[in-house]
Amino acid sequence: MNIAISGATGQLGRLVIAALKVRSAPIIALARDPARAADLAVETRAFDYAHADAAALVGVDTLVLISSSDFNDRAGQHRKAIAAAKAAGIGRILYTSILKGDASPMVLAQDHIATEAALRESGIPVTILRNGWYTENFTGALGAAIEHGAIIGAAGNGRVSSAARKDYAEAIVVTALDPSHTGRTYELAGDTAHTGADLAAAVTKASGKPIAYVNLSQAEYAQALMGFGLPERFAIALADSDARAADGALYDESRTLSRLIGRPTTPISETIAGAL
């Protein structure tokens, strides 16, 4: 059973491939630039979401469609990839969607909602993995947070059920290797939710330096993110996600992810320690 991983050179894709290699699974890495995948030491094929070619998917049984990180018509890119998969006769697609799917109020959810609809329309058997927030979304800016003594956001007291990227990668591997997950949709999130203040306290403990959580308005947070160099469209989307988290958009207490991978999800303290 050949398993192809799109976005293979991304952070999630690399973790998925590493975990599949441990299990000696037959892997095909799909990358826009195959040269960047040379270190993966698996069969690699050129595959660009924006110009998806069915020829790259010949002989693939299961396609892990990791959502594109390019926000320029992301849903359109996904539709092209799905059409290529159908033309190649792929037996099943696993798609990394977003927590709560069509019930999510987040702007970022719209591309995922459209992609889930395209998957249903394709008729290809599918497994939907609705991923919650990665804890690494928070740890990427730890250096600046420690330097300035503050973590900023717009989530107020909203609770976020984040998990480490490796936890979500493991869920992909488990479901890719077991066809009994076909036709299922899973809401995936960390076992223990945290607020911005909880995150700041965890960073304080890990770094030994006092860190406060500073809550901003959605507009202020978007402006701050743009000031850090993020593109305007992406900064606005991230600020919207934070504000919606205040309303519970990123909270989930089902523990579906830990049951699926057969272990507790990674505590935020462990991810923070690793980042530091």
| One-letter identity of residue 183 | G
Helix axes 218-227, 232-245, angle to 10 degrees: 140
Pick the CATH number of 3-131 from 3.90.320.10, 3.40.50.720, 3.40.640.10, 3.30.420.40: 3.40.50.720
For the entire predicted model, the pTM comes to: 0.96
Cα dihedral 176→179→185→186 (10° resolution)? -50
Query: By C-alpha distance, which of 71, 39, 37, 73 is closest to 56?
Result: 37
Query: By C-alpha distance, which of 65, 81, 57 is closest to 126?
Result: 65
CA–CA distance, 33 with 157 (Å, rounded to integer): 42
Which fold is adopted by the domain 132-163+188-252+266-276? Answer: UDP-galactose 4-epimerase; domain 1 (3.90.25)
- The domain ranges of the chain are 3-131, 132-163+188-252+266-276
189, 163 contact by CB (below 8 A): yes
Return mean pLDDT, the chain: 96
Q: List the structure tokens of 30.
A: 């799909």
Indicate the pLDDT class of residue 71, thresholds 50, 70 and 90: confident
209, 152 contact by CB (below 8 A): no
Query: What are the tens digits of pLDDT across the range 83-118?
Result: 999 999 999 999 999 999 999 999 999 999 999 999
> What is the CB-side half-sphere exposure of residue 57 using CA atoms within 13 A?
28
Indicate the pLDDT class of residue 237, thresholds 50, 70 and 90: very high
Residues in a beta bridge with 150: 212
Indicate the pLDDT class of residue 266, thresholds 50, 70 and 90: very high
Indicate the pLDDT class of residue 70, thresholds 50, 70 and 90: confident
| SS3 label, residue 92 | strand
**Rounded to 5°, angle at Cα 132 from 241 and 152:** 40
> What is the CB-side half-sphere exposure of residue 236 using CA atoms within 13 A?
5
